[in-house]
Chains A and B, each alone.
Chain A
Amino acid sequence: MAATLTQTQPDISYHPDFEKYKLRTERLKAFRPDSGLPPGFPEQLTGPLVWEGKDFTDEKDWTFSLTDAHLEEIHNALQKFKCTRIQA
């Protein structure tokens, strides 16, 4: 039986499928060059930018809430900007 030469698209959907990803990673392992990280790239990054969802439990930690005084300031800035534009 002759081998078909029809090229097919890989089974990758827009919404990622972790199970399929794991299977694909395993299946293609043999074809992948074991190159490691490019030269100069760190093995691991450290610092406050490395986090996971479970590191944050209290919404207050990452929320900055505007006060009435801040809102008034924003309102005044808007009026000032609109006046500047009319003069320009």
Chain B
Amino acid sequence: MGHVSQSTFPLPTLAPLLRQQAQTLSTGRGFFVLRGLSVNSYTTSENIIIYAGVSSHIAPIRGRQDSKLIDGSKQSSMLNHIKDLSKTSVAGNIGAPAYTTDKQVFHTDAGDIVSLFCLQTAQNGGESKLASSWRVYNELAKSRPDLIKTLAEDWVFDG
């Protein structure tokens, strides 16, 4: 997976269009929806290669987040599956509502650009909502500037 890049996943005519969308992300409204991938024509691993390949033309460096103990060593992941796991064997280890049918609150993830790849439409719900972080800033700056100060301060991590 680490080898998926603009050069190993070339998209001659699509790449410039994806670069335009990347411009929208960094200097425009900050989001866009890509529609039309044929998810059902491919295996899971092929879909992940397509996901990383198309994404590489929008943002070439993939970030990682989380740290889990896998096979005895701490490993981070560059993608997470958002799926209801509450009826599965790992139910006892669920640490976030992303892995349940519970609604998730507005949040930010680590990374300059984050993306969601929809593999399957939910039977019910499954809607994603976005907020403008700059609009949120403006609201806080006006009504609770003390919160901006708190958020701008250093965060102390334990461990």
Chain A contact residues, CB within 8 Å of chain B: 14-16, 25, 32-38, 41-45, 47-52, 56, 59, 62-67, 69-71, 73-74, 77-78, 80-82, 84-85, 88
Contacts and interface: CB of A to CB of B under 8 A. Distances in A.
9 contacts: A37-B148, A41-B141, A41-B152, A44-B142, A66-B14, A70-B17, A73-B11, A73-B14, A78-B49
B3 A71 contact: no
A44 to B, nearest CB: 5
B117 interface: no
A14 B132 contact: no
Contacts of A63: 32-35
A78 B47 CA distance: 9
B4 interface: yes
Contacts, number: 121
Chain B: interface size category:
35 or more
A74 B54 contact: yes
B60 interface: no
B29 A49 contact: yes
Given A67-B36, A74-B50, 5 more contacts: A37-B148, A50-B134, A63-B32, A70-B36, A81-B8
B133 interface: yes
Contacts of B28: 48-49
